[in-house]
A and B are shown apart, each in its own frame.
Chain A
Amino acid sequence: MSTLLPFHTSILNEIYDPATSDLLVLARGLGLRRIICTLLKIYDSPQNLVLVINATQEEETEIGEELGIMGCRKPGLRVVGYETGTSRDRQDLYKGGGLIAVTLRILIVDMLQNIVPIDLITGIMVMHAEKVSPLHLVSFITRLYREKNTSGFLKAFTDQPEHITSGLSPMKNIMKELQLRRVWVYPRFHQEVKDTLERKRADVIELAQNLTDNMDDIHGAIIQCMTITLSELRRSKVELDLDGLNLPAAYFSSFDHIVRKQLDPIWHKVGPSTKALVRDLGVLRRLVGYLLVYDPLQFHSYCQSLVEAATTTNPDSGPSSLGKSQWMLTDAANIIFQAAKRRCFVDAPFDDQSKPLQEIDLDDDDEAWNAIFELEGRPSAPPRATKSGTKRHEWIPKDIHPVLEELPKWSLLVEILEEIEGEILRMESTITSRPVEEPPGTNTTLVMCSSTATCTLLNDFLSSKDDKRPKGEWGRRMMLKKLRSWLWWEKRKKTAVEAPSGAGKKPIGGPSADDMIWRGETGDDALSEALKKKDRENAAKKASRRRVRGGGPVGIGRASSVPRENPAPGVSDALADDFFTDENMELLALDDQELEFNLLTDITTMEFVTEFDAHYGLLPSAETLLIRAYSDDTDDRMLDEIKPRFIVMFEPCMEFVRRVEVYKCSNPGLPVRVYHMVYANSCEEHKYLAGIRREKDSFERLIKERGSMLLPIIEDRRAAESDAIIKTISSRIAGGRRELNKAPSQVIVDMREFRSTLPSLLHASDLLVIPATLTVGDYIITPEICVERKSLADLVSSFNSGRLYTQCELMSVHYKTPVLLIEFEEDKAFSFEIISDLKSYAKTNTRFPPKKKPTGNPAEHDYSSPTIQSKIVLLTLSFPRLRIIWSPSPYATADIFNDLKKDRAEPDPVKAVATGAEEDPEAGAGVNAAAEELLRSFPGITAKNVKHVMSKVQNIRKLCEMDLTQVQGILGAEPGKACYDFLHKGEGK
């Protein structure tokens, strides 16, 4: 662990006191984790019970590891998740004290069940404080905590000031919910931070790379599509305040939030085409991002998937014109798809079979491909064509000519790496020639990029780089390989589509070869997996320069201590070199039958490849190249442990620049050079600059708010509680005060419902919330009243899936008064009606809102497809005993529940859990909701047998691995067959 910088120390001095509760807002990249870990280390002791909440799983592990490195190890940070033990075990763990990271929903349940001794908690550390809102679980936890414990501390942290935006005084709201009164704001422009970081600066070289012409075309076309979509959205009937939202803004994912925020109050009333527009914006934004990071083939196949997904219509979605993406019909979209294809290959007109160029468009693709496959099936070797000095490979269908454009940043990266190499040599020679002490740090070159996918891509590119070609074609070998596997996929897909049309008949000769290739492909995958075997979570990838293969970052931090002299590297280098060049050459030269064989042998060489991990650290660091994805605060540790002198930022990232600043300052004397790559005039550049601006603005806003903030006075809940006691006394005739305290109104709440906000509000309205895993219903209010809560989105989807019918069936069987609670959301409209779509807008635009119209326009009353209303009608007709509660907001629901509980008996939790779960031996155990949902959607699985399956099979993967008889053994002959067929449809026999 590196030293703390002066501003870290002063922050710690401000907030370490366990008697105070604080909120710390720190700029991203300035080392929030360092501060949190230091604090945790201070508090670590078996006498203390410190809970870390609201951290993601990755963060929990990372914090644990970092604490381990800092020497806080036995027992260090323990993580409580869904897989850890029973509540009894947890109780012991809590009582043992120390540092414990808990998942929010488990902590709430534990607090409600008194599993965690709330009064003994020393303090709570809240990560991601920006997410806290009155309805957030953290607020619920804070309330429970402060009810019984006023002496403990609560420290909240956030490094995302941009997200503190809700309401008029967002920071105050957060502080109110967390019941704390002290806040510290440390932006990058804080004087102390500035003084520290700007004393020593890293040497930054900024490189702006232009896009290629094709990419520029696509970029422009996507932007055009976005503009079209935006203007369509403006024209839609919905009143949107999009004036400030022009194009640059739409580059950000925050744009979605803004649009959604404006649409949310009426989201369920918005028609499908408006929804499609909003969705399209997201798709386009992602597309423009992918353009810059994916290789051309991958981009092309993504485009294809988009088109395919848009053309296969869902029979359920009603009229096919609804929900279609409008931008796909524009000329610009055509440019996108054409250019995406052009970047990969062009249809080559050197053969009389090939089609004239003007006919190439998306529909013709299929025919063209059919022709290709015919050609490919033929055993005769196509003539070798030589074009632009390139040897034409046999396996390339002869009516396409591979273009395989490369991303311009790739060549730039190679040039940079060469420059770095020269620099290293120069430095070494000056050191040897003169008696200068070697500066600290290692010569390991660090390349940072945005995602693990890019890591893999760069890794592939660099390890198969072909220097003999002209610049811009260095990655030809990799691209050819990718093209080849892509062609195979295409062919495979074709046969998969054709197979069912042949009424179960096996296409002659096709499948076996396909299957072999399929296996071959997986072998290939396994191979590349082996290459990046270790440290998957951290997404670290290792790569080599053409001379050497380097080790991974697995043992980062240990590198410097491992002895360097060893004869092994030379050997493995040579082998590796051979292996890679040979493999690639062969792969491209072989024909199909041999390909399979070749790939199978690759699997055996796989073990050899993994040996690189064993040799890790034996290579001199100057020859190691590390490619990693940006990964939040973990990067700090990585920098500290590798101590690189050369860093290449493949994509711009504001936080990482700061991390480098911090790194530079905490390692005085270490020369650091940063290459910062960005595509000129692209959305990447815009995004980077606007991101910086946004952060600065939000900090300024926060500082302003703090200046004028009226500090919230935390009210004492006890006063309110005593009222409650009096109420209980007056309404009940009972003995001692103690007795009365023990009998507040209680509601049994299903465990899964803790995702929603209602339990928190029920607790706030003085109901005792008892968590339980229920089979029937979500809330049990009285022994007779059982409530199934549906938010609007849920309501629609569970009507469609038929789930609601089954739930109502179950409730009717087990309870006298089954209740369906339809819950609208607080800030959303309390209405069902659909705002009609754009089409009718032109005619009736003056008459908005539609409610005032005496007759209404035809679109609005086109009830031809079953409406949500008619489904409700059908439900009430089927279940006359079913009551419906219409609640405008969760707050109102809490009031209604209180009403319903008056003068009624209290429900019995043990009975409630057992209800409906007679056949389920594990009633009451927690459920993996996502898996259950997925399982339910399989054919052959109904609401009645789903519990049975879940008790028999461990997880879905296990179900997939069973053979037909096993599945039938669980589900019965007919449904078992249906389920098995569904799971395995599309596999080669």
Chain B
Amino acid sequence: MTLLITWSSSMSSSASSSKRPAPPAVIPGSGNNIIVSPLQRGNPILECIRNVGKEFGDIVADYQVGRTTGVLFLSLKYHRLHPEYIHTRIEKLGIRYTLRILLILCDITEHKDAIRELTKVCLTNNITVIVTFSSEEAGHYLGIFKQYEYKPPNMIKERVDKDYTSMLRTSLTSISRVNKTDVQTLRNSFGSLANIAKAQPEQLSELPGFGQVKVRNIKNAFEKPFRNHATNTLEFMQAGDTEDNGTGDGGGLLDGGTNLKESDSAYRPPRDPSPVWDIELDP
């Protein structure tokens, strides 16, 4: 707590005046270091930046973690005391940097309104918000930003090259309630995925660990059609406008008897329409 207050006061003083001799500002050099604005001097997150070098430099953002990436840092505790501070910083930032980050350190419990307000401000100013929950995490973010500057996004792309077992596992566990033991059981008893798809519900429910719900989920995933038209909105929306007045009309409900018979044929009846054996006719 004390640490933070001294830091904030030093930050505001250095922002407002330059009574003290300004720290030697280094012009951004090698490009392998995170360039830190002198304003951030004393910020505890500096110590948490690991695995990358740091150097001070005269930049508009607080941290320049890449050629085109600038980061502003804001502690919500500080924001609560000086709500205007971040606006001036954003203003100064102008339109510099392609990727503009606002790194928010969420260190108060009543964060809801602050985050909401900042989200809105950032959206209008083309700034991406990242919320962190501790200085360590914030430092981690900064380090990662620098480390990943030129990294291709393969890590988060859809991957194809995996071995069969793990692919099968991911496939089948995507069905709700199916766990890896079940995958093993399914594989052992049916052999291939195609055979699982063809399995009868009875066969499935005889396997150890398979209850009715699990079997139903599996069957739904394999056998229900991809598309259903129950919720085809587009058609309704397009047609709906012309007939908008008609929907609220109450006439239909009263003379519904005839109406119903026509529409009923289009529906899957909940049970067999004509039972072979009729209770009431039985003596």
Contact = CB atoms under 8 A, between A and B. Distances in A.
Interface in A797-848: 799, 801-806, 817, 819, 830-833
24 contacts: A61-B271, A80-B267, A82-B231, A86-B232, A89-B266, A92-B263, A114-B248, A290-B208, A305-B188, A306-B181, A529-B200, A539-B212, A772-B237, A831-B133, A832-B133, A860-B136, A869-B141, A870-B144, A900-B123, A931-B220, A935-B226, A942-B158, A983-B194, A986-B187
A31 B6 CA distance: 70
A422 to B, nearest CB: 33
Interface string B262-283: 1110111111000101011010
Most buried by A among B180, B237, B250, B253: B253
Contacts of A557: 279
Contacts of B235: 86-88, 924
A68 B274 CA distance: 10
A65 B242 CA distance: 39
Given A925-B229, A955-B226, 11 more contacts: A87-B230, A114-B248, A802-B156, A802-B157, A866-B155, A910-B237, A926-B227, A930-B176, A985-B164, A986-B191, A986-B193
Contact of A984 (B194, B224, B226, B238): B194
Interface string A89-111: 11111011110010001100100
A315 B129 contact: no
Nearest to A876: B128
B232 A926 contact: yes
Contact of B270 (A79, A290, A863): A79
Interface in B127-164: 127-134, 136-137, 140-141, 144-145, 148-149, 151, 153, 155-160, 162-164
Contact of A92 (B160, B248, B254, B259): B259
A574 interface: no
A961 B194 contact: yes
Nearest to B138: A869
A368 interface: no
Contacts of A381: none
Please name the 10 residue pairs, one residue from A and one from B, whose CB atoms are nearest each other, closest first: A924-B234, A95-B252, A802-B158, A96-B260, A302-B208, A926-B231, A960-B194, A64-B270, A92-B263, A96-B256
Interface string A852-879: 0000100011010011011111111110
Interface stretch (B24-32, B56-64, B78-86, B114-122): B114-122
Nearest to B120: A899
Given A84-B268, A290-B208, A909-B237, A956 B197 contact: yes
B208 A294 contact: yes
A877 B145 contact: yes
Interface stretch (A352-360, A577-585, A888-896): A888-896
Contacts of A882: 128
Nearest to B280: A71
Given A290-B208, A883-B122, A932-B226, A957 B197 contact: yes
A805 B159 CA distance: 11
Interface of B: 66, 68-69, 98-99, 101, 104, 106, 111-112, 115-116, 119-120, 122-123, 126-134, 136-137, 140-141, 144-145, 148-149, 151, 153, 155-160, 162-172, 174-176, 180-181, 183-185, 187-189, 191-195, 197-198, 200-203, 205-206, 208-212, 217, 220-240, 247-250, 252-254, 256-257, 259-260, 262-264, 266-271, 275, 277, 279-280, 282
A928 B239 CA distance: 24
Contacts, number: 426
Given A290-B209, A923-B234, A47 B253 contact: yes
Contacts of A603: none
A873 B141 contact: yes
A875 B148 CA distance: 10
B255 to A, nearest CB: 9
Contacts of A561: 282
Contact of B159 (A802, A874, A900): A802
A585 to B, nearest CB: 24
A558 B275 CA distance: 12
B185 A801 contact: no
A525 to B, nearest CB: 6
B202 A529 contact: yes
A880 B98 contact: yes
How many chain A residues sit at the interface, stated as a range, is: 35 or more
Interface stretch (A450-458, A660-668, A669-677): A450-458
Most buried by B among A77, A88, A913, A936: A88
B7 to A, nearest CB: 15
A453 B226 contact: no
Contacts of B191: 492, 496, 518, 986-988
Given A98-B260, A306-B181, A316 B166 contact: yes
Contacts of A90: 230
Interface stretch (A115-123, A470-478, A645-653): A115-123
Nearest to B201: A536
A742 to B, nearest CB: 10
A117 B155 contact: no
A286 B214 CA distance: 14
A833 to B, nearest CB: 6
Contacts of B262: 92
Nearest to B100: A880
B267 A93 contact: yes
A432 interface: no
